Amino acid sequence: QTNVAVAVAGQIIDYLTTGTILNAVNAPSVTGDLLEKLGPFLSVGEQLGSLQAQLTDGPLKEVSIEYAGDFHGLDMSPVTTAVLKGLLTPVVKDAVNFVNAHVYAKDRGIKVTETTSKDSDAFVNLVTVCVDSTRSANTVSGTLFGKREPRIVRINNFHLEMIPHGHLALIYNMDKPGAIGSIGVTLGKHHINIDQMQVGQEENGKMNVIFLKTSTPIPVH
């Protein structure tokens, strides 16, 4: 008990003096300097995982995470954990945190792979999460605008610029005149105000994905 007390006291001292976190359940175990640099990417990773949880149908089989671009030699494994936390939180009844996320994935037979690449096309850095389940396969990508602002920039074949905050909705529709107008009219009839709208087009396809940020949640019936 004395050794445990001394260890806990030492960890609190490290956190208060240098920002270093060890053995916390709600944050990755990293040094204060690394956490400062990784913080924005942790947010991107968890939001990508949460988005995948809503897109994926069926039991999870495999999660592949690619870090493309310049991450300045950072250890991105805490971001992988953040992805799993976001992905598994809606699935697991118990609380998922930075300590047990990999354990839950292993217990469910989910294969987790992590790759890096120096090429990221139009972005300085890009985090891409591919999830395969028994009934679907989805790919989402995110990045940072500036130094700290997360953006979702790809959902499967659709490219867009989605700010992952607030009350959000994604609508798939045929790319034809009047579709967006009808969505606005329908929401207006239910007194739901659109704060922001982005439209992403499918590569070589006939579909759009419309991202909406609304002032109040859209009821699900």
Give the model's pLDDT for residue 56.
92
Using CA atoms, how far apart are residues 37 and 148, in angstroms rounded to an integer? 10
Strand pairing report for 149-155 and 158-162? antiparallel
pLDDT (average), residues 174-198? 88
User: How does residue 23 score in pLDDT terms, banded at 50, 70 and 90?
Assistant: low
Out of 22-26, 60-64, 70-74, 99-103, which region has the weakest mean confidence (pLDDT)?
22-26
Query: Do the Cβ atoms of 164 and 198 come closer than 8 Å?
Result: no
Strand pairing report for 125-133 and 137-145? antiparallel
Higher pLDDT, 19 or 196: 196
Eight-class DSSP state of 25: S
pLDDT at 143 over 90: yes
List for the chain the helix, strand, coil content (%; round to 5): 30, 35, 35
pLDDT (average), residues 191-211? 83
> How do residues 94-131 score in pLDDT, each as one tens digit?
789 888 899 999 999 999 999 998 887 788 899 999 99
